């Protein structure tokens, strides 16, 4: 099965965002996503808009995971095992009997055919551009850019 042609850093950030949303709000992974190099979006079944504090918390949590320099790896598992351990509702029928599971350290694991970075250190930083809520759907739009912390770390120091 071929790999989707998503930007690897943006797509890996989507995995981290999905796991973060589920950990913070128990809402599951996004049911719809559009991943682009400059700006992406994920849609979640969610009962209300996020508060500004929650938006900041999500962004900070995703950036903490990125900052841990976690390895991103893949493993092939049998379909029956994948169906027991992971959400497989988005897998196409032709996925076959061997399912590719992508892991982001010990933070996230899910079936996926997309391209990913080798380590979260390759993701420059995560920023939520906007959120919206309509008809029980929360949309989070995000981009990758250096965070304030990474800009400070990269700035030359004067002696």
Local confidence band at 97 (pLDDT 50, 70, 90 cut-offs): very high
Local confidence band at 150 (pLDDT 50, 70, 90 cut-offs): very low
Task: Give the chain's domain count.
Answer: 1
DSSP string, the chain: -PPB---HHHHHHHHHHHHHHHHHH---S-SEEE--SS-EEEEEE-SSPPPHHHHHHHHHHHHHHHHTT-BEEEEEEEHHHHHHHS--TTS-GGG-SEEEEEEETTTEEEE--B---SBGGGS--EEEEEEEEETTEEEEEEEE---HHHHHHHSPPP-
Give 78's contacts (C-beta < 8 A, 6+ positions apart): 97, 98, 99
Give yes or no for residue 154 having a pLDDT over 90: no
Is there a domain that residue 63 lies in? yes
Is there a domain that residue 144 lies in? yes
Residue 56, pLDDT score: 98
Residue 158, pLDDT score: 41
Boundaries of domain holding 65: 8-72+118-152
Residue 4, pLDDT score: 54
Residue 146, pLDDT score: 67
Is there a domain that residue 157 lies in? no
Return the structure tokens found at 126.
């995560």
Local confidence band at 91 (pLDDT 50, 70, 90 cut-offs): confident
Say which CATH number the domain at 38 has. Answer: 3.30.980.10
Is there a domain that residue 1 lies in? no
Give yes or no for residue 27 having a pLDDT over 50: yes
Is there a domain that residue 93 lies in? no
Residue 2, pLDDT score: 47
> Tokens 């992974």 correspond to what residue?
29
Give the bridge partners for 71, in sequence order: 119
Q: Which of 17-26, 37-46, 126-135, 148-157 has the lowest mean pLDDT?
A: 148-157
Is there a domain that residue 143 lies in? yes
Query: 109-121 burial string, b = 16+ CB within 10 Å, else e?
Result: bbbbbbbbbebbe
């Amino acid at each position: 099965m071929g790999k989707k042609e998503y930007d690897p850093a943006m797509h890996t950030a989507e995995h981290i965002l999905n796991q973060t949303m589920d950990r913070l709000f128990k809402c599951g992974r996004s049911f719809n996503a559009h991943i682009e190099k400059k700006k992406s979006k994920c849609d979640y079944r969610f009962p209300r808009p996020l508060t500004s504090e929650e938006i900041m918390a999500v962004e900070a949590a995703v950036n903490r995971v990125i900052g841990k320099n976690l390895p991103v790896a893949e493993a092939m598992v049998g379909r029956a095992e994948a169906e027991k351990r992971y959400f497989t509702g988005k897998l196409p029928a032709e996925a076959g009997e061997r399912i590719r599971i992508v892991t982001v350290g010990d933070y996230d694991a899910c079936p996926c055919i997309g391209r990913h970075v080798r380590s979260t250190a390759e993701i420059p930083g995560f920023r939520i551009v906007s959120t919206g809520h309509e008809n029980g759907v929360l949309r989070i739009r995000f981009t990758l850019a250096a965070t304030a912390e990474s800009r400070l770390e990269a700035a030359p120091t004067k002696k």
